[in-house]
Amino acid sequence: MRGLSFVLVLAALPAVLAVKTHDFKTCSQAGFCRRGRALSARAKENPAWRSPYVIDASSVALSSDQAAFTAAVKSAIYPEVNFSLDVRIHDDGVVRVRMDEVNGLRQRYNEAASWALLEEPQVSNTIQWTVAKDSVRAKYGPKNGIEVAVAFEPLKVTLLQNGKEQVVLNGRGLLHMEHFRTKESVARSKEGIEAPEEGLDTDDSQTVIASALPRTAWFEGDSEDGWWEETFNSFTDGKPKGPESLSLDIDFPRHGHVYGIPQHATRLSLPTTTGEDAYYSDPYRLYNADVFEYLADSTMSLYGSIPFLQAHSADSTVAVFNAIGSETWIDIGRLSPKSTTTHWISETGILDVFLLPGPTPADIFAQYTRLTGTPALPAHWALGYHQCRWNYVSSDDVRSVQKRFDEEDIPVDVFWLDIEYSEDHKYFMWDHKVFPDPVEMTKDVEAIERKMVVIVDPHLKRVDDYPAYKEAAELDVLVKLKDGQTDYEGWCWSGSSAWVDYFNPKSWDWWKGLFKVESQSGSWHWTESTVNTHIWNDMNEPAIFNGPEISMPRENIHHGGWEHRDLHNLNGMLYACAFALRSCHNLTAQAVKERTDPPMRPFVLTRSFYAGSQRFGAMWTGDNLGTWEHMAVGVKMVLANNIAGFSFAGSDVGGFFGNPDPEMLVRWYAVGIFSPFLRAHAHIDTKRREPYLLDEPYKSIVRDILRLRYSMLPVWYTAFREASVTGLPVLRPHYVAFPHDEAGFAIDDQYFIGSSGLLVKPVTQKSVTEETVYLPENQVYYDYFSHQAFRGAAKGKNVTVPAELHQIPLLVRGGSIVPTRERPRRSSPLMKHDPFTLRVALDKDGSARGELYLDDGETYSHEQGAFIWREFIADKPTKKSKGVRISSKDLAAQKPEEAVDHVALATYDSGNAFAKSIAGVRVEKIVVLGLPAKPSSVAAEGGHELQWEFTPGVSAADGKEGIASVLVVKDPKLSIAGDWTVVVQA
């Protein structure tokens, strides 16, 4: 939501003038980041640099029945400190590398992976390690092409493909796990001892220099920079555990592009932060923070953190997932255009890194989502349009907004309420002065099969007449001060506030119980609600107005005695399973799911997120500005979340701050309808900008834009099914769709929608009348609206596409069949029995393919087989035919084990209850683009001649550009759930 300056009236100011950068640290203001960068600088300055960490060869212990081994690790600069190494290879080839301090003064934080992982990964029992004098190695995969090599001295882990290095850990010797120590032990270590040979590969001059300094200075430096205390602005961090940071270099010698590590407002292919001509001067920061009015081009941390990075080249894709929950900075450099270096610097935690071998983007998504889970299949209605602002001020205001949408025939599925619905910002409690009838109001919205979303922030107002706070205090489930006993008090929208510690198991059932809508004895809960009220979790970084960096003091204590610094990035998300906990966000999703029997799919929007949050709901890009720059970078940010596993993502349409002019607002709606999550939102001080308030022609353009989104809901829902099963993102940038086309690796302003073949390039600049779209292949692409045929080329080609204000650069790739529903409705549930249109875009070979997935869109009955999953195929009846045969086949019957997320159905019953319920839903139109000649006959196989019209034009096969030929088959009366074939003869 917003920040401390919420009382100001904010116009659409340039982002560079808006963000309060002084509230947030740079690397130079964070002691552990300074130390990490200084370590890197020392390594660069000394060509003989060598890591002090070595494996004790005699300690290597192979597992007897798994592809795992452990070993003892020593540091030459601290020989008295012990470390352990654990390396294992999973069934799918992913390599997990863990290192921890052994028998230290304290336990390092080691639980981040357990919150993120879907389940404990299965370790291979077929891959075998081979121990040599200097290393441990394992080969596996097709033709044993994948190899993992763990070198002993110095410690280095390398992932290879066909003998070529793909990922290298500690290749530059920047690994450093700062062990726990006391000030007294540090004083004893400063005894001018010559650096051992295991440190620098020294010559005589270097030995002289080393011997003049403390024995650790060549590696750690000669100052205790930020070890014991650190001050930022007016806040002092006492660092009770001393230095405990983790530094690690992870390099990609054969990959020139890296993507991921959201959330940052930057390009998809991440620019450099170090080296000559670095684009940025500061590393990418992962530290969930309430950075309102953020910069549109920056490495600043934002609201979420996913420490997952992909590296890509024309030859392969690899990735790393660094399971760390603390603040982390990442430097990116390039030694050449085809290689990338990264340096990860974290405040606390063990080393727990997963190496994903790929070798394709699809393999990477499968491997990563096997670890952290695929995106949840959302409720169908959640893919419709969401209307929000801070705030709709009363029950009558909500009713009035709904009435105006209906009067103007503008579709909408969800109305939202921000914090002002609540009495003194006591969430769950309505302000009855302005919302006297919240249940009746909600039922009025439900009457048109719409939903409500209401905000519930994680801070609890510290007053005795607020049952949620009183019960949390009595249960002793609130976050503590550094003494571990006193409840922490901070300031947020509620004034003096407390924060529930969702790491505490005692909070779980209590929190879920608050969302019960039916009266129950024994506890207080939200009876003034309905099962069609869903939840918005905001401010869950956590945002705290009087805290350091607008967040929680790092010395605060959570359940288990962990400091907040250890798990800050996990706070907004924890994982629910047998060996992990549930967070505010995930607990909320569980609560909304379990309040009905049978359970209904919940919708929960979160601002803060971590790896694994995709399993539970949606996210948005936070408090953006109503500027063209923020519109453009929002596209890139949503793409970054998609390729990091979190597909259900979007940016606030219109920008949260500012008053966009009509042109900008129209363009932003066109951006929004091609985001998985579509919501308009606005600050309390902005002018009202609901689409019905626009003058003509803008109002009609936005109406048409939103209707286009609703017509394409079958495409979006089908794409989400695929994402929920395979992990493939809903939005696919060019490097994902065409991984061998180097010209597309940096493209982040156009993208594909799932496997639909739809290619969109949203307009994000003022006064545009045409756009340039890159086509990556020798294939025909059709304008979705005009049917203009464009031709790509084998080496890629740019084409010019009309883009007046009422036009959207949207192309259909030849070879695609796109199912849509064209009848305008007021909300998406009203479309459930509407007929379908099939757009058949023939490729240059005269064929096409598409899919459609449908279920009831609300329950989990699809997990028991209540759904349809159809495959549409267009091909030539004979090799030399100029006609086409269009068929519908039961894909679920062919692949029942692949149909549903996390459920391997043994069989599929095509006569299931849902299929029967839509048996009367028909295909009302088939549109075929690119036929070479006018048909002589169009008939259903085994049936009668169908009604059709043909408009001559360019053929898909002839290589020309121009308006394509169009065949329209009218109302063939074919069941969308049945098998059928239409034969077009020419």
Active site residues: 538, 541, 623
For residue 541, the Cα-to-chain-centroid distance in whole angstroms is 16
Instruction: Give strand pairing partners of 951.
Output: 966
CB 671 within 8 A of CB 663: no
**Whole-number Cα distances in Å, 151 to 200, 343, 401:** 18, 20, 65
Length of the chain: 986
Q: Which helix (H) or strand (E) holds 87?
A: strand 78-89
The residue to which tokens 């439900």 are assigned: 446
Number of C-alpha atoms within 13 angstroms, CB side, residue 746? 9
Amino acid sitting at position 173: G
The β-bridge relationship of strands 414-417 and 451-455 is parallel
Query: C-alpha angle 488/494/495, rounded to 5°?
Result: 65
The radius of gyration computed from the CA coordinates of the chain, to the nearest angstrom, equals 29
| Closest by CA position to 815, among listed 896, 873, 739 | 873
How many Å apart are CA 279 and CA 268, to the nearest integer? 14
Q: Which helix (H) or strand (E) holds 43?
A: helix 31-45
Facing residues of 322 across strands? 353
CA-wise closest residue to 69 among 81, 79, 61: 61
User: What tokens appear for 930 in the block?
Assistant: 């690119």
Q: How far is residue 87's CA from residue 148's CA, in Å, rounded to a whole number?
A: 10
Is 233:311 a contact under the CB 8 Å cutoff?
A: no
Cα atoms found within 13 Å of the Cα of residue 766, Cβ hemisphere only: 9
Query: Which pair of tokens denotes residue 150?
Result: 């763990």
- Phi then psi dihedrals of residue 45, to 5 deg: -75, -20
What is the CB neighbour count within 10 angstroms for residue 9? 9
Let me know: does 406 contact 434? Beta carbons within 8 Å.
no
Q: Is 103 exposed, middle or buried (0-12, 13-18, 19+ CB in 10 A)?
A: exposed
Cα(785)–Cα(160) distance, integer angstroms: 47
**Residues 950/970, Cβ–Cβ less than 8 Å:** no
For residue 583, give the nearest of 492, 501, 460, 470 by alpha carbon. 501
Cα torsion through 153, 155, 160, 164, rounded to 10: -50
Tell me how far apart the alpha carbons of residues 606 and 493 are, in angstroms, rounded to a whole number: 17
Within 10 angstroms of residue 222's Cβ, the number of other Cβ atoms is 11
* Residue keyed to tokens 């319920």: 917
Please name the residue that has the structure tokens 């109302």: 971
Strand stretches in 754-847, DSSP E: 758-760, 770-775, 780-783, 788-791, 797-802, 810-813, 816-820, 836-841
Question: What is the Cα–Cα distance from 853 to 869, expressed in whole angstroms?
Answer: 4
What does the buried/exposed string (b/e) look like for 843-867 if buried means 16 or more CB atoms within 10 Å of the residue's CB?
bbebbbbbbbbbbbbebbebbebbb
Give the separation between CA 117 and CA 575, rounded to whole angstroms. Answer: 7
Between the CA of residue 550 and those of 367, 546, 553, what are the distances in Å? Answer: 36, 6, 9
Rounded to whole angstroms, the Cα distance separating 290 from 304 reads 10
Give me the residues paired with residue 451 across strands: 414
Residue 968, SS3 per DSSP? strand
Cα–Cα distance measured from residue 296 to residue 635, given in angstroms and rounded to the nearest whole number: 11
